Amino acid sequence: MKFILILLIATFVFSSCAHKMVGTWMVDKYQINVPGRQSIVQENIGQLKFKKKGKGEKELVYKDFLGNNKMDKTDFGWFATGFYIGVESPNSEFSQTWASYFNKKKQQKWKATDERGVIRVIEMHKK
Protein backbone atom coordinates (compact mmCIF):
# COMPACT_ATOMS: atom_id res chain seq x y z
CA MET A 1 0.00 0.00 0.00
CA LYS A 2 2.81 2.40 0.90
CA PHE A 3 4.52 1.63 -2.43
CA ILE A 4 1.37 2.50 -4.39
CA LEU A 5 0.97 5.77 -2.51
CA ILE A 6 4.62 6.73 -3.18
CA LEU A 7 4.22 5.78 -6.83
CA LEU A 8 1.10 7.94 -7.18
CA ILE A 9 2.78 10.92 -5.51
CA ALA A 10 5.90 10.54 -7.69
CA THR A 11 3.78 10.30 -10.83
CA PHE A 12 1.91 13.48 -9.89
CA VAL A 13 5.08 15.42 -9.03
CA PHE A 14 6.98 14.39 -12.16
CA SER A 15 4.06 14.81 -14.54
CA SER A 16 3.37 18.31 -13.21
CA CYS A 17 6.63 19.52 -14.84
CA ALA A 18 5.15 19.10 -18.32
CA HIS A 19 2.49 21.79 -17.96
CA LYS A 20 5.15 24.31 -16.95
CA MET A 21 6.74 24.00 -20.37
CA VAL A 22 3.69 25.07 -22.39
CA GLY A 23 4.30 28.64 -23.56
CA THR A 24 7.06 30.70 -25.13
CA TRP A 25 10.55 30.45 -23.65
CA MET A 26 13.29 32.96 -24.51
CA VAL A 27 16.75 31.38 -24.74
CA ASP A 28 18.94 33.67 -22.62
CA LYS A 29 22.10 31.57 -22.87
CA TYR A 30 23.29 28.71 -25.05
CA GLN A 31 26.66 27.19 -24.22
CA ILE A 32 28.53 24.47 -26.10
CA ASN A 33 31.45 22.68 -24.44
CA VAL A 34 33.53 20.55 -26.82
CA PRO A 35 36.24 18.41 -25.21
CA GLY A 36 39.67 19.95 -25.85
CA ARG A 37 38.24 23.26 -27.13
CA GLN A 38 37.22 26.58 -25.67
CA SER A 39 33.52 26.85 -24.76
CA ILE A 40 31.16 28.74 -27.05
CA VAL A 41 28.76 30.94 -25.08
CA GLN A 42 25.94 32.78 -26.84
CA GLU A 43 23.20 34.97 -25.46
CA ASN A 44 19.65 35.74 -26.58
CA ILE A 45 19.59 33.30 -29.51
CA GLY A 46 15.81 33.17 -29.92
CA GLN A 47 12.83 31.30 -28.58
CA LEU A 48 11.24 27.89 -28.13
CA LYS A 49 7.44 27.68 -28.21
CA PHE A 50 6.09 24.64 -26.38
CA LYS A 51 2.51 23.89 -27.36
CA LYS A 52 0.07 21.41 -25.92
CA LYS A 53 -0.01 17.82 -27.14
CA GLY A 54 3.78 17.61 -27.48
CA LYS A 55 4.22 20.04 -30.36
CA GLY A 56 6.33 23.18 -30.63
CA GLU A 57 8.23 25.67 -32.78
CA LYS A 58 11.86 26.84 -32.69
CA GLU A 59 13.08 30.25 -33.82
CA LEU A 60 16.82 30.22 -33.10
CA VAL A 61 19.92 31.87 -34.57
CA TYR A 62 23.24 30.63 -33.16
CA LYS A 63 26.71 29.21 -33.90
CA ASP A 64 27.22 25.44 -33.82
CA PHE A 65 30.20 23.79 -32.12
CA LEU A 66 32.31 24.29 -35.27
CA GLY A 67 31.57 28.04 -35.24
CA ASN A 68 29.19 27.95 -38.22
CA ASN A 69 26.19 30.29 -38.22
CA LYS A 70 22.91 28.37 -37.94
CA MET A 71 19.26 29.30 -38.22
CA ASP A 72 16.73 26.83 -36.83
CA LYS A 73 13.12 27.83 -37.51
CA THR A 74 11.32 24.50 -37.53
CA ASP A 75 8.60 22.60 -35.72
CA PHE A 76 9.49 20.02 -33.11
CA GLY A 77 7.91 17.36 -30.96
CA TRP A 78 8.55 17.24 -27.23
CA PHE A 79 7.87 15.22 -24.11
CA ALA A 80 8.60 15.66 -20.43
CA THR A 81 9.27 12.82 -18.03
CA GLY A 82 10.49 13.64 -14.56
CA PHE A 83 13.51 15.89 -14.91
CA TYR A 84 14.00 15.07 -18.60
CA ILE A 85 12.68 16.94 -21.61
CA GLY A 86 12.95 15.33 -25.02
CA VAL A 87 13.05 17.50 -28.13
CA GLU A 88 12.55 15.71 -31.45
CA SER A 89 13.41 17.66 -34.58
CA PRO A 90 15.23 16.26 -37.63
CA ASN A 91 18.64 17.80 -38.42
CA SER A 92 18.70 19.99 -35.32
CA GLU A 93 21.33 19.97 -32.60
CA PHE A 94 18.53 20.76 -30.14
CA SER A 95 16.99 17.37 -30.92
CA GLN A 96 17.99 15.33 -27.88
CA THR A 97 17.00 14.49 -24.35
CA TRP A 98 17.81 17.32 -21.97
CA ALA A 99 18.19 17.05 -18.19
CA SER A 100 16.51 19.91 -16.35
CA TYR A 101 18.81 20.87 -13.47
CA PHE A 102 16.99 24.09 -12.57
CA ASN A 103 13.23 23.87 -12.96
CA LYS A 104 11.09 26.82 -11.92
CA LYS A 105 7.79 28.10 -13.27
CA LYS A 106 9.38 31.01 -15.16
CA GLN A 107 13.00 29.85 -15.49
CA GLN A 108 14.63 26.66 -16.80
CA LYS A 109 18.21 25.43 -17.13
CA TRP A 110 18.90 22.32 -19.18
CA LYS A 111 21.97 20.25 -19.95
CA ALA A 112 22.61 17.52 -22.54
CA THR A 113 25.63 15.47 -23.58
CA ASP A 114 25.82 13.81 -26.98
CA GLU A 115 27.71 10.69 -28.09
CA ARG A 116 30.84 12.76 -28.90
CA GLY A 117 31.01 14.17 -25.38
CA VAL A 118 29.78 17.62 -26.48
CA ILE A 119 27.93 19.25 -23.58
CA ARG A 120 25.20 21.79 -24.30
CA VAL A 121 23.57 24.05 -21.72
CA ILE A 122 20.44 26.14 -22.26
CA GLU A 123 19.13 28.81 -19.87
CA MET A 124 15.65 30.16 -20.58
CA HIS A 125 12.95 32.34 -19.12
CA LYS A 126 9.24 32.23 -19.87
CA LYS A 127 7.90 35.15 -21.87
For the stretch 53-111, pLDDT in tens is: 999 999 999 998 888 999 999 999 999 999 999 999 999 999 999 999 999 999 999 99
How many domains, in total, are found in the chain? 1
pLDDT tens profile 8-36: 344 444 444 547 899 999 999 999 999 99
Tell me the pTM. 0.81
- Determine the structural domain holding residue 40 and report its residue range: 2-126
Q: Is the dihedral of CA 87, 83, 30, 52 positive or negative?
A: positive
Beta-carbon contacts of 66 under 8 Å, excluding residues fewer than 6 positions away, are none
Distances in Å between the Cα of 92 and the Cα atoms of 1, 70, 113 are 45, 10, 14
Assign 5 a pLDDT band (cuts: 50, 70, 90): very low
Q: Which CATH number fits the domain that encloses residue 43?
A: 2.40.128.280
